[in-house]
């Protein structure tokens, strides 16, 4: 998830602005086509073979109060991640209050779901600049740190699920196609996540020398790659330095833990609203959440249509087996629909109350990302 999101973040400084170059290597129309194709294929595979009658019975048999309680926990997740991001923002500008960063997060996460290319990530830094005059690049840096923390938290949950949940060693069948999430996850953790995390710590400990070294090494694969890597590391390092001290970082880390634990409990409680949920424990819910996050790495269409449903079904089948496939399909629709409805209400409310024009917002965000702004983060003339 981190790679896709970071490559879609135009930023305000010359070096970090180059991050967006990775996206521009393909024509925009081709990117849209790929996203729609991925969503359509995922939706087809996920629901191929679903018994329509059993699917409807599963929807009708949901214990509504339990499911709503799980949705309430998802709302608390949104509040907690807003507070966590707010602490990062306050490290740059202490006067920013809850009302501001909660509304900005609500609009941003709503637009991430509605618009392609995760443009909602660009919206948050721009709104910070427009409302609080926080330099655009500094706003982007807070998002970068947020996503790195999310990646580490997700890795920890997935490792816990692999160790403590009763997951099958082999692939599971989804729409007649084998999906080996467990095997792929183990390989990714051992061959990518752990080495990359260790290398990141070493490079950041070296400071500017580490950033320069990483840029030169990546530059062996091409000038563009070197600029991309050095820009990402520079943005991340600047954001870490803005926290100032370990004392400032501890609350951010604590809110990260709280956010992700509540996220797992949200999935767990919503699952308990259906029959299969009686077999789901905390780490089983962690496996389902991991499946969702891993699948969303894919270039999904707006609303994550198809990809989100496939992710939930894979996760549920992974922990309870294919005998609950129809319930898994119903659960995927319920979770996706309810979460999107909640984000839409919150995002739509703040768009109206704060009189935010989405068209102007996206236009200005792109302009700030593609131009060469002044060092103080001011918009282009």
Which positions ≥6 away from 357 have C-beta within 8 Å? none
* pLDDT band at residue 233 using 50, 70 and 90 as cut-offs: confident
Taking residues 160-185, what's their average pLDDT?
84
What's the CA gap between 95 and 6, in Å, rounded?
27
- The answer to whether residues 308 and 292 touch, using CB atoms and an 8 Å cutoff, is yes
Give the model's pLDDT for residue 323: 92
Residue carrying structure tokens 């467990």: 182
Residue 119 scores a pLDDT above 50? yes
pLDDT of 338 over the 80 cut? yes
- The reported pLDDT for the residue numbered 372 is 35
Which of 59-63, 67-71, 370-374 comes out lowest in average pLDDT?
370-374
Determine the average pLDDT of the residues in 257-286. Answer: 97
Locate tokens 């390092």: which residue?
A: 237
* Residue 230 neighbours by CB distance under 10 Å: 22
pTM assigned to the model: 0.82
pLDDT of res. 314: 92
- How many percent of the chain have pLDDT more than 90? 43
In percent, the amount of the chain with pLDDT more than 70 equals 83
The span from the CA of 280 to the CA of 268, in Å, is 7
Residue 270 has a pLDDT of 98
Judge whether 277 lies within some domain. Answer: yes
Helix/strand/coil for 24: helix
Higher pLDDT, 70 or 173: 70
Q: What are phi and psi of 103, to 5 degrees?
A: -65, -40
CA–CA–CA angle 35, 38, 40 (5° rounding): 105
- Checking if the pLDDT of 124 tops 70, the result is yes
Which residue, 250, 230, 260, 229, is CA-closest to 77?
260
Tell me the per-residue pLDDT of 194-213, one tens digit each, with 9 for 90 and over. 677 777 677 667 878 888 88
Q: Tell me if 168 is assigned to some domain.
A: yes
Within a domain: residue 22? yes
Cβ-contact 39, 181 below 8 angstroms: no
Taking residues 292-297, report their average pLDDT: 86
Residue 321 has pLDDT above 60, yes or no: yes
**Structural domain of residue 69, as residue ranges?**
2-46+53-357
Residue 11 located in a structural domain: yes
- Looking at residues 351-361, what average pLDDT do you find? 88
Instruction: Output the pLDDT for position 20.
Output: 41
Residues in the chain: 381
Picking from 269, 270, 268, 272, the residue whose alpha carbon sits closest to that of residue 284 is 268
Q: Cβ–Cβ contacts within 10 Å for residue 124, how many?
A: 25
List Cβ neighbours of 60 (8 Å cut-off, separation of 6 or more).
Answer: none
Q: Note whether residue 365 is domain-resident.
A: no
Residue 260 lies in a domain: yes
Most confident range (mean pLDDT) of 104-108, 147-151, 292-296 is: 104-108
**Under 8 Å between Cβ of 121 and 144:** no
Q: How far is CA 47 from the centre of its chain?
A: 24
Q: Could you give the 3-state DSSP secondary structure of residue 171?
A: coil
Q: What is the pLDDT of residue 190?
A: 67
User: Torsion angle, CA of 195/188/307/165, rounded to 10 degrees?
Assistant: -110
Q: Where does the pLDDT of residue 375 fall: very low under 50, low under 70, confident under 90, or very high at 90 and above? A: very low
Is the predicted pLDDT of residue 151 greater than 50, yes or no? yes
Distance CA 174, CA 154 (A): 23
Q: Using N-to-C axis directions, what is the helix angle for 307-320 and 282-295, rounded to 10°?
A: 150
Residue 372 inside a domain? The answer is no
Which position has the higher pLDDT, 340 or 294? 340
Band (pLDDT 50/70/90 cuts) for residue 226 is confident
| Two tokens, residue 218 | 């990546």
Total domain count, the chain = 1
Q: Is the pLDDT of residue 368 over 70?
A: no
Residue 227: inside a domain: yes
Q: Answer with the residue of higher pLDDT: 231 or 377.
A: 231
């Amino acid at each position: 998830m981190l790679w896709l999101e970071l490559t879609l973040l135009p930023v305000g400084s010359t070096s970090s602005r180059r991050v967006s170059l990775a996206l521009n290597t393909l024509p925009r129309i081709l990117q849209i086509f790929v996203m729609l194709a991925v969503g359509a294929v995922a939706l087809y595979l996920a629901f191929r073979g679903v018994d329509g009658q059993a699917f409807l019975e599963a929807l009708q048999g949901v214990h509504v109060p339990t499911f709503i309680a799980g949705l309430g926990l998802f709302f608390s997740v949104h509040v907690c991640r807003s507070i966590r991001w707010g602490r990062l923002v306050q490290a740059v500008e202490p006067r920013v209050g809850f009302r501001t960063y909660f509304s900005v997060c609500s609009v941003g996460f709503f637009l991430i779901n509605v618009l392609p290319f995760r443009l909602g990530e660009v919206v948050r830094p721009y709104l910070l600049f427009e409302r609080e005059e926080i330099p655009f690049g500094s706003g982007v840096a807070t998002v970068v740190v947020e996503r790195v923390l999310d990646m580490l938290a997700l890795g920890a949950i997935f490792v816990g699920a692999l160790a403590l949940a009763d997951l099958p060693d082999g692939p599971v069948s989804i729409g007649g196609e084998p999906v080996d999430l467990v095997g792929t996850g183990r390989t990714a953790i051992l061959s990518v996540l752990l080495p990359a995390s260790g290398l990141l710590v070493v490079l950041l400990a070296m400071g500017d020398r580490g950033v320069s070294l990483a840029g030169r090494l990546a530059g062996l694969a091409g000038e563009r790659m070197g600029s991309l890597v050095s820009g990402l590391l520079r943005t991340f390092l600047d954001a870490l330095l803005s926290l100032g001290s370990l004392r400032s970082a501890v609350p951010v880390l604590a809110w990260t833990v709280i956010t992700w634990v509540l996220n797992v409990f949200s999935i767990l409680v919503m699952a308990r609203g259906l029959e299969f949920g009686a077999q789901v424990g905390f780490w089983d819910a962690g496996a389902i959440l991991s499946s969702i996050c891993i699948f969303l790495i894919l270039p999904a269409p707006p609303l994550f249509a198809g990809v989100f449903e496939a992710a939930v079904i894979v996760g549920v089948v992974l922990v309870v087996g294919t005998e609950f496939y129809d319930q898994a399909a119903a659960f995927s629709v319920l979770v996706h629909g309810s979460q999107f409805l909640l984000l839409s209400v919150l995002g739509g409310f703040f768009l109206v109350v704060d009189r935010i024009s989405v068209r102007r917002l996206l236009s200005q965000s792109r302009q700030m990302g593609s131009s060469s702004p002044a060092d103080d983060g001011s918009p282009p003339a």
